[in-house]
Amino acid sequence: MSAYDRPAIDAKTFRPRTQLVHGGVARSGFGETSEALFLTQGFVYNSAEQAAGRFTGEDEGFQYSRFGNPTVAMFEERMALLEGAEAARATATGMAAVTTALMGQVKAGDHVVASRALFGSCLYIVQDLLPRFGVESTLVDGHDLAQWKAALRPNTKTAFLESPTNPNLSVLDIAAIADIVHGVGATLVVDNVFATPLMQKPLELGADCVVYSATKHIDGQGRCLGGVILGSKAFIETHIQVYIRQTGPSLSPFNAWVLLKGLETLPLRIAQQQDSAQKLADFLASEAKIARVFYPGRPDHPQYELARRQMKGGSTMVALEIKGGQAAAFRFANALEVIKISNNLGDAKSLITHPSTTTHQRLTEEARLDVGVTQGMLRLSVGLEDADDLIDDLKRGLAAV
Ligand SMILES: *Cc1c(COP(=O)(O)O)cnc(C)c1O
């Protein structure tokens, strides 16, 4: 330590907003203010002995960016602080995180249970991909605790759910489901994208693993893809670390750097987007051309009490059902000027999508109705624009219906 070095304060003692600005920072010898971007594939060693030591683990340090990189490690550390997790591993996309979290735990002959209301690609992993490798899967109505109980088998290794669900923001009881699956020694993995790490803490509710598409609110400005897997040190070391090291769904250091900057402003963006989402949901609910609004922060939401218990705040997303089916939904979306038509979400720009013809197109009409996706449903991701401009835009949409 030189005379000018300052002892570091443990970031665990900081409040979340401070952690999101300072957590995980590993400054280089240049003392840069902003997180350094280590755009490097590999690392050089001082000696052959040191190289050997890195590979046995006796010498701490980086070897190759597929296994670890300083910028990626800063992002992982900051995410772990925010989530209150012992360990985190970043991945190239949200789907790489989901695939790794599930594939990393199972082998042929195992069984997986999942809630039916999943993001389209997650449904593919559970329903199509896992069975190709001899892992059977059962889909349940996530609200029905009896179905979770009935689906469990002695060989059930893990359970998977998303809450609030895409697209209709239905809320599942994470604590109750964790209890049930732990009864047969299985783990629970929660896709927490719609809640964001600020509104819901699945690990505190009993989940064993949390996954994010960092592409969404964590970047928050529509720039790059990313994902992250969080859990106990034992969970990550047993199921995730080696899988990522050997199969390579690793996050690019450049994307990790963008995501680190995203985390700095996450609380400000989420607070603003959630505030606007509540206003938009309340506005839409008062309109005669709207059959239904789905928003966890409104007392007319079917799981309002559960949402209040389990989540801080409503959501940055609103789902709505327009009277008049697909034709009315298309007329509404096409008349919008500020809100853009896009299947993405969590962006600074407000985005709207018609799930039944986009994200849920692959499903049969029956399967869509099973998860509440009707022809008149639209999913709105609320951005950072002025809420009054967004309400004016919704009025333009309604006038066209
Ligand atoms: C977007 C999304 C994913 C997939 O993330 P990518 O970064 O696009 O791979 C998984 N789950 C949910 C709930 C999502 O919204």
Q: Does residue 249 have a cis peptide bond before it, meaning omega lies within 30 degrees of 0? A: no
Q: Of all protein residues, whose CA lies closest to atom 4 belonging to ligand 1?
A: 94
Beta-carbon contacts of 327 under 8 Å, excluding residues fewer than 6 positions away, are none
User: Of 197, 252, 202, 243, which Cα lies nearest the Cα of 79?
Assistant: 197
Predicted pLDDT of residue 74: 97
Predicted pLDDT of residue 178: 98
> Ligand 1: distance of its center to the CA of 96 in Å?
9
Predicted pLDDT of residue 7: 65
The identity of residue 397, as a single letter, is: G
Atom index in ligand 1 nearest the CA of residue 346 equals 15
User: Of 195, 201, 213, 200, which Cα lies nearest the Cα of 262?
Assistant: 213
Predicted pLDDT of residue 2: 57
Task: Tell me the percentage of the chain whose pLDDT exceeds 90.
Answer: 95
H or E stretch at 176: helix 174-182
The C-alpha atoms of residue 102 and residue 93 are separated, in whole angstroms, by: 15
Q: Of all protein residues, whose CA lies closest to atom 8 belonging to ligand 1?
A: 94
Fold of 11-261: Aspartate Aminotransferase; domain 2 (3.40.640)
Task: Establish how many alpha carbons lie within 13 A of residue 374's alpha carbon, considering only the half-sphere containing its beta carbon.
Answer: 16
Residues of the chain where predicted confidence (pLDDT) is lower than 70: 1-3, 5, 7
Express each pLDDT in 136-193 by its tens digit. Answer: 999 999 999 999 999 999 999 999 999 999 999 999 999 999 999 999 999 999 999 9
Q: Using a 6 Å CB cutoff, which residues line ligand 1?
A: 93-95, 98, 119, 121-122, 162, 166, 191, 193-194, 213, 215-216, 225, 227
The C-alpha atoms of residue 324 and residue 347 are separated, in whole angstroms, by: 28
Coil, helix or strand at residue 399: helix
Predicted pLDDT of residue 251: 98
DSSP letter for each residue of 44-105: --SSHHHHHHHHHTSS-S--BTTT--HHHHHHHHHHHHHHT-SEEEEESSHHHHHHHHHHTT
Q: Where are the domains of the chain?
A: 11-261, 267-399
> Ligand 1: distance of its center to the CA of 215 in Å?
7
> Ligand 1: distance of its center to the CA of 37 in Å?
25
> Ligand 1: distance of its center to the CA of 82 in Å?
19
User: Of 50, 347, 383, 359, which Cα lies nearest the Cα of 219?
Assistant: 347
Express each pLDDT in 125-149 by its tens digit. Answer: 999 999 999 999 999 999 999 999 9
Predicted pLDDT of residue 1: 44
> Ligand 1: distance of its center to the CA of 98 in Å?
9
Express each pLDDT in 72-95 by its tens digit. Answer: 999 999 999 999 999 999 999 999
Atom index in ligand 1 nearest the CA of residue 95 equals 9
Atom index in ligand 1 nearest the CA of residue 166 equals 13
Atom index in ligand 1 nearest the CA of residue 214 equals 7
Superfamily covering domain 267-399: Aspartate Aminotransferase, domain 1 (3.90.1150.10)
Q: Does residue 164 have a cis peptide bond before it, meaning omega lies within 30 degrees of 0? A: yes
> Ligand 1: distance of its center to the CA of 121 in Å?
8
Dihedral sign for Cα 274, 276, 277, 282, please: positive
> Ligand 1: distance of its center to the CA of 395 in Å?
30
